[in-house]
Amino acid sequence: MKKIIVIMTAVLLSMSLSNLSFAAADPNVELKAAFKAKNYRKAFQISSAHAKKGDAAGQYILGQLYLNGQGVKKNPGIAYGWLKKAADQHHPMARFALGTLYATGTGIRKNMQLARQQFNLASQKGVADAMRSLGIMYEKGDGVPKNMGAAIGWYEKAANKGMVDVQMMLAERYLKGIGIKRNPGKAFAYATKAARANIIDAKYLLGLMYASGQGTKKNPQLAFRNMKLASDKGLPQAQYSLGIMYIQGVGTKKNPQMAFKMFNMAARKGIPLAQHNLGLMYLQGQGVAKNPGMAFNWLNKAAQKGLAPSQFLLGDLYVDGVGVKAKNHQLAMRWYRKAADQGLPMAEYSVGAMYANGFGVKKDVNQARNWFNRAAKKGLPRAKNALQQLAQMARQ
């Protein structure tokens, strides 16, 4: 009896059966055609016949169909039975699927020890999904003692098997030192692997690393190239970063008009820093005609999301009456205070100035001195000058 040879990738319970491929000599071309046409009822009939004859691959496919409710009514209990039969015949993907059922308590009582056992057996046969699952177990301490070193070891095995999502996760962790010792070189290596699979987030990360020289030699041209690829695919963070590159001339010629275009795209997708920069460009007439009203609108959006520099600039707009109907010291003070509470030195100075002059608040020299002190300790020259002026006034 010839077996159904299946090559597929599965992720936890969301295991797709639409990408099955069979050996050229396999006679079951009907099964392949059924999956390609999403004719799961026919796939169920074919795999059922094979499964009942004891064929491990047929049992595995039948278990998946019952698990996902494809071609047959969903029944996790029956799915477990068929997947166990296949796993007992050493079918690698069935072992992973069975481990997942034990780990989630689907179709069978949850048992993390048995889950780990099946994941280990599947990993020994090179199943990358099982390697990742073991990594998750060790990271969370779920069914095993928590061990970040062991977790990273399993993640790296999965990544080296080509799992791009794990490659990206490791790239970000090694770059930022999340849960592991920071290693920009490894971050760059994993991001490069993921980028070869055309993962847009990886190209964005490479753009950042080439621009900053983290994990690799600084290369503005490659930074721009990778960032543009990510931007062209609609990644908002990349569009914002590309705008910065156009403004600063990093890896390309300075181009305020293109910078405005990029910031505009990212701002409309809710990136606060892009909204802030777009507001600045409208305010200064850089890359676009001056428009104080539009400047206020975009700065307000960023300020509402808690961006301190935008909150500070809103305070300035209300003080000067720019982009708003009229000057409003009370609102200016409110926005200055929000930014100052986040530790922005210029905002701290401005709060002090409002207290010193009695603008939007009752005049209070002691409060003014306190706020000037905060800004002065952060090295702001005008705050130091303000403190000297207050001291002179006190001596008079």
Give the tens place of pLDDT for each residue, 127-161. Answer: 999 999 999 999 999 999 999 999 999 999 999 99
Q: Is the pLDDT at 328 greater than 50, yes or no? A: yes
On whether the CB atoms of residues 351 and 340 are closer than 8 A, the answer is: yes
Q: Is the pLDDT at 226 greater than 80, yes or no? A: yes
pLDDT band at 395 (very low <50, low <70, confident <90, very high): confident
pLDDT band at 373 (very low <50, low <70, confident <90, very high): very high
Q: What is the pLDDT of the chain when averaged over all its residues?
A: 92
Give the tens place of pLDDT for each residue, 83-130. Answer: 999 999 999 999 999 999 999 999 999 999 999 999 999 999 999 999
pLDDT band at 394 (very low <50, low <70, confident <90, very high): confident
pLDDT for position 17: 43
Q: What is the pTM of this model?
A: 0.83
For the chain, domains (ranges, CATH) are 1-159 (1.25.40.10), 162-233 (1.25.40.10), 235-302 (1.25.40.10)
Buried/exposed 235-245: b ≥16 CB within 10 Å, e otherwise: bbbbbbbbbbb
What element of type H or E holds 146? none
Enumerate residues 6+ apart whose C-beta is below 8 A from 177: none
pLDDT for position 28: 64
On whether the CB atoms of residues 308 and 273 are closer than 8 A, the answer is: no
